[in-house]
Amino acid sequence: MAASYYYSILLASLLFIATTCSANFYNDFAITWGDGRANILNNGDDLTLSLDKASGSGFQSKNEYLFGKIDMQLKLVPGNSAGTVTAYYLSSQGPTHDEIDFEFLGNVSSQPYTLHTNVFAQGKGNREQQFHLWFDPTKDFHTYSILWNPQRIVFSVDGIPIREFKNMESQGVSFPKSQPMRIYSSLWNADDWATQGGRVKTDWTQAPFTASYRKFNADACIWAAGSSSCGSVSTPSTSSSWLNQDLDTTSMERMKWVQKNYMIYNYCADIQRFPQGLPTECAPTS
């Protein structure tokens, strides 16, 4: 990859971080578990989750959303984070729930985190893509974003798309579009599978493990009392461009760059897992 192109990626990341707006964690979220291990700090500007051998911790949004552009800045557990998982995701409830996942799988010191993504629709997931990152996510805050509109879901890091999941209902593929979802985040121990397939366990002498959050922003349709603040999807009452946003040529090139250089697992390339044929959404499109 040419140095000039990499520079454009870095510049876009810095500009995105600089322009992301912040909200107040007291107003937008509720701590749901952890017995004091989750804390809202600095008058609501910051939030931390901690994990020790007794318990992890978590929080959820007070609002439910049906489509939106969600941004959050995270700084992940530093040092030896093996066995820990920091999850940040959207989810509805019930056995046929929808879900859009970022999960950050810790690793031993100096080894890269694994960024695990997944999409559930009508209770069906198994759509994992995993990445390493082009920076150390423990050294500073970085912005992790989910664009969710009726046409597509786009996962982005510092404004750079890393994954797109398109609405292919016309071909029989379920797509999250009718169940409002809350935002959730948790820090928990998953050393039975999270790091190198469970071969590396959590070193509790390093506890407590702490992840930090700031600058949440939701340009989104709030769901309340059975209706959306945006009106109907077909005739929305909002002018937000994200409702019909797609990936332009530059964004597509950036996503291809990430997937070529940093993707480490793609369910759409796992022939052994799907011996009867890859899922429908994995077919190449023109």
Please identify every residue annotated as catalytic: 99, 103
- The Cα–Cα gap between 193 and 178 comes to 32
- The Cα–Cα gap between 56 and 36 comes to 10
- The Cα–Cα gap between 100 and 147 comes to 10
**Token digits of residue 214:** 């700031």
Contacts of 83 (CB under 8 A, 6+ apart): 106, 189, 190, 191, 194, 195, 200, 201, 202, 203
Phi, psi at residue 93, to the nearest 5°? Answer: -120, 165
DSSP 181-227: BEEEEEEEE-TTTTTGGGTS---GGGPPEEEEEEEEEEEEEEEETTE
**Token digits of residue 180:** 């409002």
- The Cα–Cα gap between 27 and 49 comes to 17
